[in-house]
Amino acid sequence: MKKVLIPTKLESLARDILEQHGGYSVVHDAETPLAELVAAHPDVYALLVRSEKITAEVIDALPALRLIIRAGAGYNTIDTQHARRKGIDVMNTPGANANAVAEEVIAMILADARHIVQADPSVRAGKWEKSKFMGRELAGKTVGIVGLGAIGKLLLRRLQGFEVRALGYDPVISEERARDLNIELTDLPTIFRESDYVSLHIPENDQTRGIVNEELLSLMKPGATIVNCARAGIVNEDAFRQWKEERRLRLLNDVYPKDEAGPKPIADIADLLLPHLGASTVEANTHAARRAAEELIEYDDMGITSFVVNRDIPAGLDEEYGELAYTLARLCRSMVGLDHHVKQIETSFYGTLKPYAQWLLLPMVAALNKDFDRSMDYAAALEYLKEMGIDYRDRKTDPTKGYENSITVDFTAHTGADQLFTASVRGTVAEGNLMISRISDFDKLYFEPKGHTVIFTYEDRPGVLGRIAAALAAENINIDDVRNPHNSKGTQSLALLKINQPASPELVRRVADEIQAHTGFYIGL
């Protein structure tokens, strides 16, 4: 019998499932301090936890420990690296709270629109203020959903009964999948300009931090509402303060920099504040408990490791090739346009990389969406692509081509009503350095994808490279390296310039317009 310790207030369903299985003895104790439980049960095989801190000291005190499962999505309270060093897998249960959050959004919208929170104490005080609490109906309104992952899709389904117009923004999901979901894909300015309600469902990272900024808020309709059940940092609070009164904007909020008691920095601008209740339902907790127990059984009985979050690189594969796959996908994504929706991904793995094709798909999917965990397995990557409506094909390769240990990645995306564009990139690793050898029809580049880079393609003619260089110089941007090859027909040129600092989107757009570029983008690698 394998001993399982559950030192948290997890639903008893997890214990029941494991005990019914017959292969586990379960210690479920949420009252005794963790340190005491660890000292009393050094023979624990698996830990099922919620928000408990599983430090290196805790891990070292359990010599028989082989698996830690976090009943929930986040796992920042677990020392995953130390667990890896000790040969311990760490797993989580992503998606367990998705429906709970989707329903919370609906509840917040309705409570605000009908003044539920304010009307109840008014009636209890003996008042009858019907005119004061005149509300709004959700039916017929436009709702913008920023982020169409698990929560965003479930919210869309929950909204369908209200007969709303649904707008969506997600740079990954395909147009075909969006049509299946009955949502109009568009850009962020259109969502903020046309929506009565904007619900945020994106992670917080370097690309999304402060994304709800002054520019977007200035576009909103008078009286429009933002619902944030995602992450605190994606809304620029100062910008919201600036536009709240002028546009009578409303903010319904459930997320904060820290989950703790005390004054909240947005209390002066939020119209409804909840204490991060998104996952706080009996059903979500029960689902997380069930998934944690099932993942443990599947891990032991069937060897399923889909939700391991501290996975090792496969034996025999240099980790640089994972970074190469990630970088190639990022380049392809930038080439087809970050606002265009990918329809198909095709890959070719040459030389000794072919046996690792499934593993190398994971960093490519992570390049599509930073919220996708690179420690997931191949099945999870395929399921994610399917959910996003993206076709995937790994091509057979010809060993006679001589592309020893190279990877080719092609992205095909919608760039117009019925227009498709394919970007193709090939690269390898040379002496421990990533090397890009081809971009589309421009071969023998041999440049290291590192630092700041601008790339333009255009009809070949004299003087274009000089105009690009002059535009960069006007912005005090130095050029560190240049590649300027022709395509195989000699009709088009590629200008690839490594520069000493980022180039702004405005600068890239201006240069692309001036030289009549087919493609033009900046990428930081």
pLDDT in tens, 4-50: 999 998 899 999 999 999 999 999 999 999 999 999 999 999 999 98
Domains in the chain with CATH codes: 2-95+283-302 (3.40.50.720), 98-273 (3.40.50.720), 319-524 (3.30.70.260)
pLDDT score for 7: 95
Q: Which of 177-186, 218-227, 366-375 is predicted most confidently? A: 218-227
Query: In the numeric block, which tokens belong to residue 342?
Result: 């990918």
pLDDT in tens, 256-267: 988 889 999 999
Report the pLDDT value the prediction gives residue 489, as an integer from 0 to 100. Answer: 86
How do strand 272-273 and strand 250-253 relate by DSSP bridges? parallel
Residue among 190, 129, 181 at smallest CA distance from 155: 181
Distance of CA 360 to the CA centre of its chain: 18
Axis-axis angle for helices 378-387, 357-368 (nearest 10): 40
Report whether pLDDT(418) > 80.
no
Element (H, E) at 446: strand 442-447
Q: Quote the CA–CA distance of 62 and 52 in Å, as a whole number.
A: 15
Whether residue 375 has pLDDT greater than 70:
no
**pLDDT of 165:** 96
pLDDT at 372 exceeding the cut of 80 = no
Q: What is the pLDDT of residue 72?
A: 82
**pLDDT at 70 (0 to 100):** 93
Strands 250-253 and 225-228: parallel
Q: In what order do the strands lie in the sheet with 519-524?
A: 479-483, 492-499, 452-459, 519-524
Which of 71, 47, 56 is closest to 307 using CA atoms? Answer: 71
Evaluate if residue 399 carries a pLDDT over 90: no
Find the mean pLDDT for residues 183-205: 94
Name the more confident of 120 and 305: 120
Band the pLDDT of 442: cuts 50, 70, 90. very high
Interaxial angle between packed helices 282-302 and 98-113, expressed in degrees from 0 to 180 and rounded to the nearest 10? 170
Q: Are the C-beta atoms of residues 425 and 523 closer than 8 Å to each other?
A: no
Cα distance between residue 255 and residue 280, in whole Å: 13
Quote the mean pLDDT of the chain: 91
**pTM (2 d.p.):** 0.74
| Mean pLDDT of the 413-437 span | 87
CB 513 within 8 A of CB 479: no
Percent of the chain with pLDDT over 70: 99
Average pLDDT over residues 482-510: 92
Write a three-state SS string for 218-244.
CCCCCCCEEEECCCHHHECHHHHHHHH
Rounded distance, CA 70 to CA 92, Å?
5
Please give the Cα distance from 7 to 434 (Å, whole number): 45
pLDDT at 153: 93
Mean pLDDT of 379-387: 88
Rounded average pLDDT over 163-172: 93
Paired tokens of 329: 């996908």
Q: Return the pLDDT at 174.
A: 85
Quote the pLDDT of residue 470: 95
Bridging pattern class, strands 67-70 and 406-414? unpaired
Average pLDDT over residues 436-445: 91
Mean pLDDT of 185-198: 96
293-320: average pLDDT: 84
Cα atoms in the 13 Å half-sphere on the side-chain side of 249: 28
Token readout for 485 is 């090859």
Q: 417 pLDDT band (50/70/90 cuts)?
A: low
Q: What is the pLDDT of residue 166?
A: 97
Integer-rounded Cα radius of gyration of the chain: 26
In 3D space, the residue among 259, 255, 258 whose CA is nearest the CA of residue 274 turns out to be: 255
The per-residue pLDDT for 175 is 84
| Rama region for 514: left / alpha / beta (φ>0; ψ in -120 to 50; rest) | alpha
**Residue count (the chain):** 525
Question: Would you say residue 95 has pLDDT above 90?
Answer: no
> What pLDDT, on a 0 to 100 scale, did the predictor assign at position 490?
85
Beta bridge partners of 297: none
Which of 105-114, 347-356, 409-418, 502-511 is predicted least confidently? Answer: 409-418
pLDDT recorded at residue 525: 87
pLDDT at 249: 97
| 174 touches 226 (CB < 8 A) | no
Q: Check pLDDT > 70 for residue 180.
A: yes
